Chains A and B, each alone.
Chain A
Amino acid sequence: MDVNGPIIGVIENVVIGFFGFTAIIGALILVLQKNPVRAALGLLLSMVSIGMLFLAEGASFVGFVQLMIYAGAIVILFLFAVMHFPLGRQKRPRLPHMDAIGFLGVVVLGITMLINLALIFQSKLLASGFAPRLHPNIEVKNIGLRFMDDWIYPFELISVLLLVGVIAAVYITRGPGHLKNPGGDE
């Protein structure tokens, strides 16, 4: 992958393999844990692993963005929300059959996706390995240039979307009343 020889290549493979494994573990923790705090921590593990994977592949920009925003902000937000909720006893499920049917559905999805995966196994593209890693600075620079060039429109729209998200979040939690008397009582 890069000019530094086969030993580096081996280290890369090990790193990728390890973090791929931990990403799956994190996901399983998330889905299987009853305790929401533990589930959130599983999510954190997954996010960090994926960030590491990005870095190992050589996508430094996305990797750091992933670590900063996903692992550093979103998961924190989830933890705050989880702490907000008391941990009550889960009742007997209202739709017991749903569990079986849902499981079946997911199995179907899994099968189709894995079939697809098998089909792209032969893809020459994936067999070629990761492209030469760009110098981190240059990579960021290129991304920036592209954003300001072809992708300016989505770029701006994302900003608007984030603004809308903020306003919506505030409004939903606090309700309409507070808009009428801004400095008034709660």
Chain B
Amino acid sequence: MMAFYVVAVAVLLIIIGAAGVVLRRNPLIILMSIELMLNGANLILVTVDRVSNTLDGTLFATMLIGIAAAEVAVGLAMVVRIFRDEPVADVDDYHTLNG
């Protein structure tokens, strides 16, 4: 029963993370929300592992952490580069790749 509670928490984290990605305009907040969603996914993976006594999910979650680290590095580098000289960081200012 507790396992279900943990999974429910993870699902909520994902939803909240999605809300953060779609609704916030600060690029850093968006990146952090993405991290939040990844964590939610990790939580589900490990929980399922723990109830079924396998290791595959744990391994995958470990790798996801690694991937997330690399992604954060690159993502932050991009954000820093783009918004370096802006007075206010607003993702909506950049929309020239349209049409």
Using a CB–CB cutoff of 8 Å, the interface residues on chain A facing chain B are 12-13, 16-17, 20, 23-24, 27-28, 30-31, 36, 39-40, 43, 46-47, 50, 53-54, 57-59, 61-62, 65-66, 69-70, 73-74, 77-78, 81-82, 84-86, 88-91, 93-95, 99, 102-103, 105-106, 109-110, 113-114, 117, 120-121, 123, 125-132, 142-143, 146-147, 151, 154-155, 158, 161-162, 164-166, 168-170, 172-173
B residues within 8 A CB of A158?
A: 63, 66-67
Using a CB–CB cutoff of 8 Å, the interface residues on chain B facing chain A are 1-9, 11-20, 22-26, 28-29, 31-33, 35-36, 39, 42-43, 46-53, 55-56, 58-59, 61-63, 65-74, 76-81, 83, 87-90, 92-93
Tell me whether chain A's interface is mostly helix, strand or loop, or mixed: helix
**B7, B52, B69: which contacts A131 (Cβ < 8 A)?**
B52
**Complex: how many Å from CA A120 to CA B11?**
12
